[in-house]
Amino acid sequence: MEFFVDTADLDQIRESYAWGIVDGVTTNPSLIKKAVEKLRKDGSSLGIPEYIENILRVAQGDPVSLEVIGLTAEEMYSQAMTLYERFNPIAENVVIKIPVNPNMGDNPEHAFDGLSTIARLAEAGIPVNTTLIFTPEQALLAAKAGAAYVSPFAGRVDDDLRKMAGETFDKTDYYPADGVEGRDDNGIESGVDLVARCVEIMEIHGFETQVLAASLRNPRQVRECALVGSHVATIPFNVLSAMAEHKKTVEGMKAFTADIVPEYAQIFE
Ligand code: G3P
């Protein structure tokens, strides 16, 4: 299973790469916005293109997803080519992120523009990460179009299910804590369940498309994505950090450290 770090924050990318467990990076316009706000707050005048180039270099040739902002096939294809031509030469690791369906409610005539763009890019040999996947059906369509990755948004599925159930919750809560009741949920019980169904479809039909579990909010979701065979998980920095923690590990470290006898310590001097 591969781990991508879900952030555009260069400090977080550098630090998580130093941990030796990261295989790629995913960004989106919201993550870029956050990173640029931090950059400006720190007084840096570095431009976004140069900042992206730094991300590509830090990722050491591992895939880095960069998202288009257009809403039509024409715009998305041309933006994908702009991103690819400008940034892929830096480290040969650009993956283009395309929404599965760019319809924002008032442009239903463009509902299939994401898929047709994916097909065009795949034909040109450009890897695509399909974003905003909320149903296994959307994952299936993206795989048919030739996407390299499909990104089911596990955390946001849970947000939606909990909202329908009238529950209050913290962003980092695992869901469902105690199972689910009947609901208008398209047969998807949780975010992790969506990931599992996407994995099953790719495997049953032998698609090369990899399932990239996204919108992960806590370590338990990552564990369960691993257990259902997700090929990749893109993990926010805070969740990646939390995965190494346990109170008994701290307790054990304190006890082992307290027991170090001078004769043993001398070996390392
Ligand atoms: O990978 C997609 C991710 O960045 C969205 O996360 O927590 O905003 O749903 P979230």
Q: Classify the C-alpha dihedral 38-41-47-53 as positive or negative.
A: negative
131 close to ligand 1 (CB < 6 Angstrom): no
**pLDDT the model gives residue 171:** 83
Nearest CA to ligand 1 atom 6: 215
Ligand 1 atom with least separation from CA of 159: 9
Domain 2-268 has CATH 3.20.20.150: no
97 is annotated as an active-site residue:
yes
Ligand 1 midpoint to CA 65 (Å): 13
Taking alpha carbons only, the member of 8, 254, 234 closest to residue 130 is 234
Confidence of residue 189 (pLDDT cuts 50, 70, 90): confident
pLDDT per residue as tens digits for the range 79-100? 999 999 999 999 999 999 999 9
Which of 132, 150, 156, 212 has most ligand 1 atoms within 8 Å of its beta carbon, as the pocket-test mutant?
156
pLDDT per residue as tens digits for the range 8-32? 999 999 999 999 999 999 999 999 9
113 close to ligand 1 (CB < 6 Angstrom): no
Ligand 1 midpoint to CA 263 (Å): 50
Provide the terminal-to-terminal Cα distance of the chain, rounded to the nearest Å. 39
Q: What is this structure's pTM?
A: 0.93
Is residue 260 classed as helix, strand or coil in its secondary structure? coil
* Two structure tokens written together for 211: 């399932």
